[in-house]
Amino acid sequence: MSELKFRFVDLGRITNKNEKRVILAMEKLLADLDEWDPEPLDIQDIYALALNRLPPRYVQDGTIVFNEPVKREEVERVVGEAIKTVKDSPNY
Predicted confidence band of residue 77 (pLDDT cuts 50, 70, 90): very high
24-36 pLDDT, tens digit each? 999 999 998 888 9
* Cβ 64 vs Cβ 7: under 8 Å: no
Would you state the pLDDT for residue 2? 59
* pLDDT over 80 (residue 62): no
Q: What's the whole-model pTM score?
A: 0.85
Helices H / strands E in the chain, number of each: 3, 4
- What's the whole-number mean pLDDT along residues 18-24? 96
pLDDT-based confidence at 66, cuts 50/70/90?
Answer: confident
